[in-house]
Structures are given as structure tokens and as C-alpha cells.
């Protein structure tokens, strides 16, 4: 079952250990052996060895067999073992809900979907604030009792507006920023600040259409597929490391408004899936690519 389609069990007792290092004999063993010695039962494990780059990645869910599991002691004991392999690692506690900030413009389909999944427990996140360059979606966000920040933007005020955005990110402690159809290009400085912790969603039409009304352009060319791409942001517009993509078939009987509707459905599903993969620690950044341990 895909992460976006299952509810989060806040009473779950499984921890998540993620790690990466250069490829070397014994990389799996150093993780599994330590967990066994620590009396931790592995409930799920995925690993990948990239033979082209020589990188190794592993994600392990485990359940302590003994009461009183001490996370700090676990990290301290595993650190010297990991250091032998130049291995970086992260330990995530059960029931962790990642603090996030969502950025939007006027389109509400992705925001509405994320709010629903948040409210029903399908996404392990805490939405700390919603930021927009328009006031239109404030009533929707207010209904969910979430702070809404309206920061208008013009080419002249872009630095000041982004400073306001960054202040909200810092004050809320957000560890992830979700661009849920935020129709503004982030500056190089903002992209650098949010590197590895900001996810964007955009359409993926074959062939590609840029500019205004991409779905109308696609209709005029008679495309047969529409889709969406969720990726981490970087300084190359819509070309950051891809987390996940979605696609759907269209035909001659689909008019521009039908393509728009189908595209929006794919966008919201693809974004939700990418967020779920990220917050469940299933995505590893690897140069300009990602390693994704899907379910």
C-alpha cells in the first residue's frame, strides 16, 4: 500500500534508522548486527547499492524488544560503528510528525488535499502555517485553525517578501516547506536555504509546455498523456531532484477543461505521495538524483 493511502498509527512502536555511506563490504551487517545486539527486532528493511556512484543507502524500521529504549544511548553506541564506514545516520522516533509550512497562490486543489490528509491522520505532519501571495485561500485555512500569512509580492518587493517567508519558517520550526502550486519563482538565496527540505509540484506534459495555460497548449497539440512531477527545489526552475511522478491518459474527447481537471487530480496525488515519502524518511538525496524506498 502506498504511504499516501494508509493512515498513520500514532501508537506504533517502530523506530526508523536511515543511513548512507560509501559502498563497502559489511554495510548491511553493521546495521543489522548492531540492532540484534541492542535487542531490536527489524520489521522492515530496504537497501540500495549504487554501482555507478559507489554509494550505499539503507532504511530500517525496528521495534525494541525491551522496555525503556534510550534513543540517546542508541545513537552514542552506534556512532563509532557507523564511523568505521564513514556512515551518516538518522534515528526517527515512533509517531514523529514533521512540522511543515505550506506555500500557495490561488489554486486550492493541492492545499485542500494536504489539509484533508493532515486532518484525517493520513500524513504524519504538523502544518504550522500557510503562506500565500494572495488572500483568496485564507477562509479555507482559517477553517482548519491554521495561521495564514498573506505576503504580497512584486519584482521590486521580492527580497522583503522572501525575508518574511523565511521568518515564518524559522519561527515555526518548519522542517519541510511544501510548494502546493505556489506560482512564484524562489530566489537563489531562498533555494539554498531550503535545499533538501522544500518540495514543489508542477505539471509534466508530453511534450513539455511552458508559459501560460499549459493544458490548453497540450490540448491544441493533441497530447495523449498528462502528468505531474514532485521534486526538491533547486536553483534550476522545475529541475530539482525528482521524488515521484504521476501520469494519466487523455484522449480526443477531452477538452481543455478536462485536461485541467485530470491534471489537478494527478498533481494533488503526486504531491501527497512525495510528502509522505519524505516525512517517512524514504527519500535520500544523492547528487542531482534521489534514492526512494517506496512501499
What is the per-residue pLDDT across 165-220, written as a single tens digit (0 to 9) for each? 999 999 999 999 999 999 999 999 999 999 999 999 998 876 677 777 888 888 88
C-alpha cell at 224: 495523449
Q: How many CB atoms lie within 10 A of CB 212?
A: 7
Predicted confidence at residue 203, as pLDDT, reads 86
Is there a contact between 286 and 50 (Cβ–Cβ < 8 Å)?
A: yes
Residues of the chain with CATH 3.40.50.170: 98-292
- Report strand pairing: 225-232 vs 198-203: antiparallel
Q: Is 3.30.70.260 the CATH number for 3-92?
A: yes
Which residues of the chain carry a pLDDT beneath 70? 1-12, 206-207
Predicted confidence at residue 280, as pLDDT, reads 96
Percentage with pLDDT > 90 across the chain: 79
- Range 93-98, long-range pairs (CB < 8 A, 24+ positions): 93/15, 94/12, 94/13, 94/14, 94/15, 95/8, 95/10, 95/11, 95/12, 95/124, 96/124, 97/8, 97/124, 97/125, 97/126, 97/279, 98/124, 98/125, 98/126, 98/175, 98/176, 98/278, 98/279
Q: Hey, what CATH class is 98-292 in? A: alpha beta
Active site residues: 238
Residues of the chain with CATH 3.30.70.260: 3-92
pTM for the predicted model, two decimal places: 0.91
CA distances to 20, 42, 62, 63, 65 from 33, rounded to whole Å, are 16, 11, 13, 14, 15
DSSP state of 144: T
Predicted confidence at residue 118, as pLDDT, reads 96
| Mean pLDDT across the chain | 92
Predicted confidence at residue 209, as pLDDT, reads 75
Is there a contact between 203 and 245 (Cβ–Cβ < 8 Å)?
A: no
Q: Give residue 86's region: left, alpha or beta (phi > 0; psi -120 to 50).
A: left
| Residue with the three cell numbers 545516520 | 89
Amino acid at each position: 500500500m502506498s504511504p499516501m493511502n494508509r493512515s498513520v498509527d500514532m501508537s506504533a512502536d517502530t523506530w526508523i534508522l536511515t543511513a548512507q555511506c560509501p559502498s563497502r563490504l559489511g554495510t548491511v551487517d553493521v546495521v543489522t548486527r548492531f540492532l540484534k545486539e541492542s535487542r531490536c527486532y527489524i520489521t522492515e528493511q530496504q537497501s540500495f547499492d549504487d554501482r555507478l556512484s559507489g554509494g550505499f543507502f539503507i532504511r530500517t524500521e525496528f521495534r525494541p524488544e525491551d522496555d525503556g529504549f534510550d534513543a540517546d544511548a542508541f545513537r552514542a553506541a552506534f556512532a563509532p560503528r557507523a564511523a568505521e564506514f564513514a556512515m551518516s545516520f538518522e534515528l526517527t522516533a515512533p509517531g514523529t510528525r514533521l512540522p511543515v509550512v505550506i506555500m500557495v497562490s490561488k489554486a486550492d486543489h493541492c492545499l485542500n488535499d494536504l489539509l484533508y490528509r493532515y486532518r484525517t491522520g493520513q500524513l504524519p505532519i504538523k502544518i504550522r502555517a500557510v503562506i500565500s501571495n494572495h488572500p483568496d485561500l485564507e477562509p479555507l485555512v482559517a477553517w482548519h485553525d491554521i495561521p495564514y500569512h498573506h505576503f504580497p509580492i512584486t519584482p521590486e518587493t521580492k527580497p522583503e517578501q522572501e525575508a518574511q517567508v523565511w521568518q515564518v519558517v524559522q519561527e515555526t520550526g518548519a522542517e519541510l516547506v511544501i510548494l502546493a502550486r505556489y506560482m512564484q519563482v524562489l530566489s537563489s538565496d531562498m533555494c539554498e536555504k531550503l535545499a533538501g527540505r522544500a518540495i514543489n509540484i508542477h505539471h509534466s506534459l508530453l511534450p513539455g509546455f511552458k508559459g501560460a495555460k499549459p493544458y490548453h497548449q497540450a490540448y491544441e497539440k493533441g497530447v495523449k498523456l498528462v502528468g505531474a512531477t514532485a521534486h526538491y527545489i533547486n536553483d534550476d526552475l522545475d529541475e530539482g531532484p525528482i521524488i515521484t511522478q504521476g501520469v494519466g491518459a487523455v484522449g480526443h474527447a477531452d477538452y481543455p477543461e478536462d485536461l485541467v481537471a485530470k491534471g489537478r487530480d494527478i498533481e494533488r496525488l503526486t504531491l501527497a505521495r512525495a510528502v509522505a515519502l519524505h516525512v517517512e524518511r524514504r527519500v535520500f538525496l544523492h547528487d542531482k538524483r534521489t534514492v526512494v524506498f517506496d512501499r
